[in-house]
Structure 1
Amino acid sequence: MMNLLPDVWRQDFWLPPGVTWKDMEQLSSSDRPQPLDLLISLPLALAFIALRYLFERFCAPPMGRCLGVRNRIQVTAAPSPKLESYYTQRSRRPSQSEVISLMSQCGKTQRQIEMWFRLRRNQDRPCRTKKFGEAAWRFFFYISAFMAGLTCLIDRPWFWDLRECWRQYPIQPMERAHYWYYMLELGFYGSLLLRISVDIKRKDFKEQVVHHLATIFLLSFSYCANYVRIGTLVVLLHDSSDILLESAKMFNYGTGWRKTCDALFIVFAAIFLVTRLVIFPSKIIHTTLVLSMEVFEPFFGYYFFNVLLMVLQALHVFWAGLILRMIYKFLKGKLEKDERSDEESELEEEGDDKEGEENMDQDDFCWERSKDSLNSKLSMLTNSCVLNNLTNHRASVADRMRKAQ
């Protein structure tokens, strides 16, 4: 293992042909990226987790109340130790044969067992306040990072001319503002990856894991290989549309903000499709694949960096498909859910045939209450009719007796 370690830092892996590590020493230690600098992202990730906890506990709730975010009233399942044990240890969705077996064990009907599991699954769904807190936290980070990145990049020549990203590469001095921009982004995505197992599990869960890993590898490798200039543009481009996505979610969870949510969604969809499907491949990938070859010949870092960009582009195409599907539903007036991120795959989106399960649960509950109320009214009406008949009968008997006398 120790013999392999020096091979990792072979200069032909990280530097173009003809450039050595000694050439990089022309830059001072503070002006060139150092691999050990990446270690600062670990405490930053933990700091982001702590800051997020404080934000979701003290800042998000009053914001949610201002937007009218309210949790839905949930009907809790009746206590049943046997069904609870089966639910937690075996399956949340028993098959037909398993339901029949549970009927004999619990002494319940098939309908009662199916309704119990539906209500129990509803209890595990995350509440709206939790969803709002998560969206609000991401929104404030993305808008802060975007404004900071735009401030430190807008007056740089490579922001306007992408060929400047490769001028004198890799011997390019790194500014401290760009260093902290990189480290904060890396720490944030590290915190998302550390918390992904406890966050709301969405339908694109696997794609989110791949996205976070690709982003972390992309930032780490591009930093070590001094792809900092093009890397900052990639991060800034991604943050621009994520701001609108999270703000649309925030208004979606509130009450009475449907038009605002729809407007933000339309703007988000437009910016996402333009930045991720047009600007990213035509500008970013084109400059890393083609324009960079005007300065140096291909090497391992060139191929690896472009492969990571291609992975991101594949994810962009996947999410663009979901967004276009949402736009189609929106135009037809059937848009009720966020196809990308607002619903959970395992809890709320468990197949097209289960799409309306929550509504079924609420309908079942409402039907039970309506049935009880109807039975009560029928009973009162019946009693009233009987009493009226008895009263009329007594009155007629008394009248006949008076006439007979």
Structure 2
Amino acid sequence: MEILLNQWILQETYWLPNGLTWRDIEESGGPRHPLPRDLLLTLPLALAFVAIRYAFERVVALPLSRKLGVRDRIRVRAPPVPKLEAFYQQKNKQPTQSEIVSLGKQCDLTQRQIESWFRHRRNQDRPSNTKKFCEATWRFVFYLIAFVAGLASLIDTPWFWDHRECWRGYPKQPVTEAQFWYYILELSFYCSLLLCVSVDVKRKDFKEQIIHHIATIFLIGFSYCGNFVRVGTLVMLVHDSSDFLLESAKMFNYSGWRKTCDTLFVIFAVVFLVTRLVVLPTRVIYSTVVQSLDFFNPFPGYFFFNGLLLVLQALHVFWAWLILRMVYKFVFLGKVERDERSDEESEIEEEGAQEGGDQGEDESCWEHRKGTLNSKLVSLANNCVLNNLTHQRRNLDSRMPKAR
């Protein structure tokens, strides 16, 4: 297997500059050097992260959600209708008009009853605030620990302050134990996120998140094998610096702590925009694209690594646009209504369309509209009366000289 990997996947001509081999990296001295076989450790660690997350959400996150006052919406359950349930599970969760008519004939129900059943059934599958709170808490804890540990392991290194040091002596650069575990644990965590993507809450940017996870896994794995560890640790640190702020804002949002959530979101927006749109492209990506060429000639790994960084940067621009929309709402409307970067669910909100409680809302809205309409009609009538009186007064004034 190792010979097959070396012949087809781990060829030095793809991963390393011309004239260098994996043996050259091993013989360069130092306590540890990155080798492709080290990545096999991430597979059991990813499964371990899934198990730890399962226990953490039930032992820590769930009791914490109750203490912080997280409340779940009470949703009306759809009555059991086997034909509609089979259609919902196998064909479509949002039937078309023709399908609704056909289902109504099969089940002997009205069109309104069919629409109401599918609405309640979709709402029944929506994740609760408690589930979303537990997911956010798990990610918050990991990102916070990763950021603190990464900062502690990098702040004393020369390449943390001077990015040209990332390439001095490349690729014969030793790796410390702290940097090794920082890399391996980050890669294992993102692999665990990809494993759990089918059971996690699907959000508005679900496709972008999948692309982000895949690009991040390839970026971390390739940068480790190609010994881009120094610049790779900087990229991971920049990402972790804002992610834990976002997850903390989500936690307080689900708990109903609006002022705390808004404050954390504003702090997150500032940190995200500065780190992802200023620091990352002007310092880190500039170093990998331009400054690195002062130390070696371009090779396939150079183009692949920078291509993945540009994919991540494009996603950052997309998320920055969503965040700026939220900042606009916060400044001009006075509050953050929804986290458009990652917290909005992918499906259309239908809670306001439920029957029962919504009928009262419709009646109150109709009363309000009727009152507004009556006031406008009264104002219009008064204006008409005033116009008539003014017109008659002008006619009377025009006739007075003639009468005199």
Q: TM-score, normalised by structure 2?
A: 0.85
User: Alpha carbons of 1:315 and 1:369: their partners in 2 closer, same or farther (altered >3 Å)?
Assistant: closer
* Aligned counterparts of 1:13 and 1:92: Cα–Cα separation in 2: 46
Show the counterpart of 2:327.
327
1:48-59 mapped onto 2 (5 Å cutoff): 48-59=49-60
Matched residue type, 2:290: V
* Aligned counterparts of 1:251 and 1:125: Cα–Cα separation in 2: 20
Q: Does 1:230 align with 2:231?
A: yes
* Aligned counterparts of 1:301 and 1:335: Cα–Cα separation in 2: 43
Show the counterpart of 1:283.
283
Q: Does 1:359 align with 2:352?
A: yes
Show the counterpart of 1:194.
195
1:259-278 mapped onto 2 (5 Å cutoff): 259-278=259-278
8 Å contact from structure 2 (residues 319, 341) kept in 1:
yes
Give the CA deviation at 1:113: 1.6
Q: Does 1:36 align with 2:37?
A: yes
Higher mean C-alpha deviation, range 195-204 or range 46-55: 195-204
Matched residue type, 1:141: F
Residue 242 of structure 2: SS of its match in structure 1?
A: helix
Show the counterpart of 1:116.
117
* Aligned counterparts of 2:225 and 2:358: Cα–Cα separation in 1: 63
User: Alpha carbons of 1:228 and 1:87: their partners in 2 closer, same or farther (altered >3 Å)?
Assistant: same
Give the CA deviation at 1:62: 1.4
User: Alpha carbons of 1:10 and 1:101: their partners in 2 closer, same or farther (altered >3 Å)?
Assistant: closer
8 Å contact from structure 2 (residues 262, 336) kept in 1:
no
* Aligned counterparts of 2:7 and 2:64: Cα–Cα separation in 1: 52
* Aligned counterparts of 1:160 and 1:132: Cα–Cα separation in 2: 37
Give the CA deviation at 1:23: 3.1
* Aligned counterparts of 1:114 and 1:369: Cα–Cα separation in 2: 19
* Aligned counterparts of 2:120 and 2:332: Cα–Cα separation in 1: 31
Give the CA deviation at 1:14: 2.1
Q: Which runs of 4+ in 1 moved over 6 A?
A: 1-4
Q: Deviations over 1:327-352 (max 9, x none)?
A: 2222332742221221221xx33xxx
User: Alpha carbons of 1:89 and 1:294: their partners in 2 closer, same or farther (altered >3 Å)?
Assistant: same
Give the CA deviation at 1:95: 1.2
Aligned residues: 360
Higher mean C-alpha deviation, range 313-322 or range 48-57: 313-322
* Aligned counterparts of 2:155 and 2:221: Cα–Cα separation in 1: 23
8 Å contact from structure 2 (residues 30, 174) kept in 1:
no
User: Alpha carbons of 1:156 and 1:267: their partners in 2 closer, same or farther (altered >3 Å)?
Assistant: same
Residue 198 of structure 1: SS of its match in structure 2?
A: coil
User: Alpha carbons of 1:175 and 1:359: their partners in 2 closer, same or farther (altered >3 Å)?
Assistant: same
Q: Deviations over 1:54-76 (max 9, x none)?
A: 01111111111121101111111
Residue 340 of structure 1: SS of its match in structure 2?
A: coil
User: Alpha carbons of 1:295 and 1:99: their partners in 2 closer, same or farther (altered >3 Å)?
Assistant: same
Matched residue type, 2:175: M
Show the counterpart of 1:381.
none
Q: Does 1:60 align with 2:61?
A: yes
* Aligned counterparts of 1:195 and 1:231: Cα–Cα separation in 2: 25
Give the CA deviation at 1:279: 0.6
8 Å contact from structure 2 (residues 22, 35) kept in 1:
no
* Aligned counterparts of 2:21 and 2:146: Cα–Cα separation in 1: 34
Q: Does 1:298 align with 2:289?
A: no
Q: Which runs of 5+ in 1 are unaligned?
A: 350-354, 372-405
* Aligned counterparts of 2:4 and 2:47: Cα–Cα separation in 1: 33
Q: Deviations over 1:55-113 (max 9, x none)?
A: 11111111111211011111112222222222222211111112122222222222222
Q: Does 1:157 align with 2:158?
A: yes
User: Alpha carbons of 1:41 and 1:114: their partners in 2 closer, same or farther (altered >3 Å)?
Assistant: same
* Aligned counterparts of 1:326 and 1:180: Cα–Cα separation in 2: 36
* Aligned counterparts of 1:228 and 1:103: Cα–Cα separation in 2: 61
8 Å contact from structure 2 (residues 30, 175) kept in 1:
no
Show the counterpart of 2:317.
317
* Aligned counterparts of 1:207 and 1:370: Cα–Cα separation in 2: 36
* Aligned counterparts of 2:261 and 2:360: Cα–Cα separation in 1: 34
* Aligned counterparts of 2:205 and 2:254: Cα–Cα separation in 1: 19
* Aligned counterparts of 2:172 and 2:89: Cα–Cα separation in 1: 58
User: Alpha carbons of 1:342 and 1:22: their partners in 2 closer, same or farther (altered >3 Å)?
Assistant: closer
Q: Deviations over 1:342-379 (max 9, x none)?
A: 1221xx33xxxxx4x21121xx21256899xxxxxxxx
* Aligned counterparts of 2:23 and 2:42: Cα–Cα separation in 1: 27
Q: Deviations over 1:253-279 (max 9, x none)?
A: 002x10100011111111111111111
* Aligned counterparts of 1:187 and 1:288: Cα–Cα separation in 2: 24
Residue 31 of structure 1: SS of its match in structure 2?
A: coil
User: Alpha carbons of 1:258 and 1:298: their partners in 2 closer, same or farther (altered >3 Å)?
Assistant: same
Higher mean C-alpha deviation, range 325-334 or range 62-71: 325-334
Matched residue type, 2:281: P
Residue 332 of structure 1: SS of its match in structure 2?
A: helix
Q: TM-score, normalised by structure 1?
A: 0.85
Show the counterpart of 1:393.
none
* Aligned counterparts of 2:361 and 2:7: Cα–Cα separation in 1: 75
1:2-401 mapped onto 2 (5 Å cutoff): 5-28=6-29, 30-255=31-256, 257-333=257-333, 335-345=336-346, 348-349=347-348, 355=349, 357-361=350-354, 364-366=355-357
User: Alpha carbons of 1:98 and 1:38: their partners in 2 closer, same or farther (altered >3 Å)?
Assistant: same
Give the CA deviation at 1:136: 0.2
Higher mean C-alpha deviation, range 102-111 or range 268-277: 102-111
* Aligned counterparts of 1:179 and 1:212: Cα–Cα separation in 2: 20
Q: Deviations over 1:179-236 (max 9, x none)?
A: 0000000100010011111111111111111111111111111111111100001001
* Aligned counterparts of 1:266 and 1:85: Cα–Cα separation in 2: 45
Higher mean C-alpha deviation, range 119-128 or range 1-10: 1-10
Q: Percent identity?
A: 62
* CA RMSD of superposed structures (Å): 2.0
* Aligned counterparts of 1:249 and 1:203: Cα–Cα separation in 2: 15
* Aligned counterparts of 1:9 and 1:30: Cα–Cα separation in 2: 23
User: Alpha carbons of 1:27 and 1:79: their partners in 2 closer, same or farther (altered >3 Å)?
Assistant: same
